Amino acid sequence: MHEKIELPSGTTLDFSGPALVMAVINCTEDSFYSGSRNPTTKAALDRAFLAEENGAAIIDLGAESTRPGAAYIDADEEKRRLIPVIEGFRARSRLPVSVDTRKLEVACCALDAGADIINDISALEDSPGIATLCAERKAGLILMHKKGIPSTMQDKPFYDDVVAEVSNYLLAAAQQAEKAGVPREKIILDPGIGFGKRTEDNLDLIARFDAITALGYFTLMALSRKRFIGEITGRTTEDRLAGTITANAFALLKGAHMIRVHDTAEAVDLVKLFFALSRRC
């Protein structure tokens, strides 16, 4: 695969070196981590520019909370929250922008506003046309595994072999995207930590993440401050930074190409130290 990926805004994702840090910017009032909530355009832009200053390689903007128990919002409301932030950020920055949405209408408007990548937590199940859109617009596409929908996904999820099931699901979704015309190097796979999964499932997916990196696509680990960390450490959401860093280090050891985080500066330091040490092995 090509390691330097050209994106619609003219910017590039460079996978030829250390793993990339994706900064979570929630344009919401109800995301599961209170420290990540940005209810106004100004608040979201301030946080996005700070993340860029702190070394983020990509900004991930989302306007619909997908925490466990969350309900859908309509496309008009999602666009109202999201589009001014994309436009405001793009006016001052060339950093790659991904948009966390599962709606074709929102994805189209986001790309029009200057986004580069669609981060689809439904892996094309909600809007199969997102694959064709990304192919036509030469955008990147992140495909994530989840079981069920956010409002019910934590209602007794069960797997016989979570790593095999998630790997097979993601491979099928990636092949669907490729058939629609999305180049392999522009597809990124995310196992969906916390999305319809028990603590033991999340641990297995992180510990055996190399099974997903072996599928031959770029990969993303998104576990920042999630519930399983609290269940193991006893820490509240606000106190899960150390656990997040530890779990992300393990994901890097297993080949993650990108980590999605709330705490950009700390994640950038993790990546720098991890790869400095790796070169000594």
pLDDT at res. 158: 80
Select from 16, 13, 23 the least CA-distant residue to 186: 13
pLDDT band with cut points at 50, 70 and 90 for residue 34: low
The structure tokens listed for 147 are 């079981």
Average pLDDT in the chain: 93
Q: Residue range 27-38: average pLDDT? A: 69
User: If DSSP codes are grouped into helix, strand and coil, which group holds residue 192?
Assistant: coil
pLDDT at res. 253: 97
Least reliable range by pLDDT among 144-153, 161-170, 243-252, 262-271: 144-153
Q: Which residue is it, tokens 């959401």?
A: 237
Give counts: helices (H), strands (E), the chain.
10, 10
Q: Residue range 249-269: average pLDDT? A: 97
**234: domain CATH number?**
3.20.20.20
Number of domains making up the chain: 1
The structure tokens listed for 219 are 């990969």
pLDDT of 107 higher than 70: yes
Q: Residue range 61-71: average pLDDT? A: 72
Q: Which residue is it, tokens 């509240």?
A: 236
The structure tokens listed for 64 are 């619909």
pLDDT at res. 192: 97
pLDDT band with cut points at 50, 70 and 90 for residue 33: low
Q: At what angle do helices 264-278 and 241-253 cross, to 10 degrees?
A: 40
pLDDT band with cut points at 50, 70 and 90 for residue 254: very high
Q: Residue range 144-162: average pLDDT? A: 77
Q: At what angle do helices 75-92 and 41-53 cross, to 10 degrees?
A: 40
What lies within 8 Å, CB to CB, of 40 at 6+ separation is none
pLDDT band with cut points at 50, 70 and 90 for residue 73: confident
pLDDT at res. 216: 97
Q: What residues are annotated to the active site? A: 226, 260
Q: Which residues pair with 26 in a beta bridge?
A: 37, 62
234-252 pLDDT per residue, tens: 999 999 999 999 999 999 9
pLDDT of 153 higher than 60: no
> Could you tell me what percent of the chain has a pLDDT over 70?
92
The shares of helix, strand and coil residues in the chain, as percent rounded to the nearest 5, are 45, 15, 40
pLDDT of 80 higher than 90: yes
Domain that holds residue 127: 4-278
- Cα separation of 58 and 156, whole Å? 34
What lies within 8 Å, CB to CB, of 245 at 6+ separation is 266, 267, 270
* pTM given for the model: 0.94
